[in-house]
Structure 1
């Protein structure tokens, strides 16, 4: 026989929401007893859920009977069943013992933005408040099956940071929280854009559409031969390249940005570097120390000449024509050079 009311309840049910709303709708602010006296604030039996953020209610069921009870807990409400997951312990509890269960609620993150919510032709208003019940079935499957229940409310509200800046008296009004969220959604994108403005001015993080603007700032020509990652690095180092143009350091830096080969600043010997730029007779003719054929010559030779040697294990990724264009652009106009591209062993 099914019973819903008991003179002496067999179990007691206590609900503990993990997130209680600061404000509830005015029409539901209190539960009223028959004599009109407010008996319990509905906020204490309500769960606040933000879309995309999990929330939970702890259900504690205590056995008040003098015998073992077998219990089954179920949740029903006017919300989609997939929003709630019930996790319980052992269904059997001894006299005076307590069973703990947890109701996990998870609302879709796009609850306020999905097409059903924003479609102007949809005549059904977006539901923000749901009423639910926790049912405890005692000795299910027997003739003595009984039911006890406890009500709670589920409030879905957008997460608002601006509400924390209001005096507490305004935060106790549910409409104020939803109203200020309108201004937050309007102003916050501008605030966020201002906070990340630095990223728009850095060529490594700026949107692709801003690269021509940043290149114009530093008077750097955009060449479609270079890929996007290389162009970003060149724009960022443009001023440094201008400063060292015509020098060994400037040419090595430019070739490093294109090829990705290391600068090897820690290697003292120039010929051992991945990007080696050497002059055949760098010391010139010094009396008492020069040796013919090694660091000095008599007659002939190529004045203002240097050698560029690239050592890489990815030779297919190096375009010799583009490398020569870089050298022609960076070297002094009167100098000559030889280019060697070798496999790095």
Structure 2
């Protein structure tokens, strides 16, 4: 608030021009200075809740609010994208589509493969077991990928995570 706006909030006796001088003017100017930082924050309040515009330190807070408190080792930009996609990720939670969407959003890669018919030792598909194939370049982010798979797969499902070069059929298909 400007000092003139603050002066209008004073009782009428203090608003008279001859009375509004010296110490009172200095007090109003100081109050204007105290309000300035808060008003700047309020003017940009919508940016705090937009994961793409929020300050770096606030993005992890937004992630926790969205239940996305993960060891995102792929960078702050990926965490911002996860928070932005939070509603859609929640909608597809527990599905193959949701798992692949989550992995893609967290890493920026679209070349994940999900095999829901993993053959067992007898050659028959193993019930309630999936195999996720990730690009070899994501091996340093294994903890993140395992955390995502563990959170997003249905509770009774077991999984394997394999890293492979593009075009490699992976161990589950051999």
Give the TM-score normalised by structure 2.
Answer: 0.59
- State the match for 2:151 in structure 1: 329
CA distance in 2: counterparts of 1:222 and 1:316, whole angstroms: 16
Measured in 2, the distance between the counterparts of 1:214 and 1:275 equals 26
Residue correspondence of structure 1 range 184-263 to structure 2 within 5 A: 193-221=41-69, 223=71, 225=73, 227-262=75-110
Give the Å deviation of 1:247: 0.4
Is 1:276–2:113 an aligned residue pair?
Answer: yes
Deviation at 1:255, TM superposition (A): 0.8
Structure 2 regions of 5+ residues with no counterpart? 1-28, 168-174
The structure having more radius of gyration, on CA atoms, is: 1
Question: What is the aligned partner in structure 2 of residue 307 from structure 1?
Answer: 131
Distance in 1, matches of 2:70 and 2:113, equals 27
Does the 8 A contact of 1:279 with 1:305 survive in 2?
Answer: yes
2:73–2:141: 8 Å Cα contact kept in structure 1? no
Alpha-carbon contact 1:201-1:214 (below 8 Å) kept: yes
Deviation at 1:198?
2.5
Separation in 2 of the partners of 1:322 and 1:212? Answer: 15
Cα distance between partner residues in 1 of 2:156 and 2:134: 22
Aligned ranges 1:5-84 → 2 under 5 Å = none
Q: Structure 1 regions of 5+ residues with no counterpart? A: 1-181, 263-273, 282-292
Deviates more, 1:207-216 or 1:219-228: 219-228
Rounded to whole Å, the distance in 2 between the matches of 1:311 and 1:222 is 20
Q: How does 1:135-146 map to 2 (within 5 A)?
A: none
Considering only aligned residues, what root-mean-square deviation do their CA atoms show, in Å? 3.4
Correspondent of 1:319 among 118, 128, 141: 141
2:172 match? none
Q: Distance in 2 between matches of 1:204 and 1:223?
A: 19
Give the direction of change, closer, same or farther, for the CA distance of 1:334–1:228 in structure 2 (3 Å limit): same
State the shift of 1:232 in Å.
1.8
Partners in 1 of 2:80 and 2:130 — Cα distance?
A: 29
Q: Aligned equivalents of 1:224 and 1:256: distance in 2?
A: 13
**Quick one: distance in 2 between partners of 1:320 and 1:224?**
11
- Number of paired residues? 134
- Find the counterpart in structure 2 of residue 344 from structure 1: 166
Query: 1:302 and 1:240 mapped to 2: Cα distance?
Result: 29
- Return the structure number with greater strand share: 1
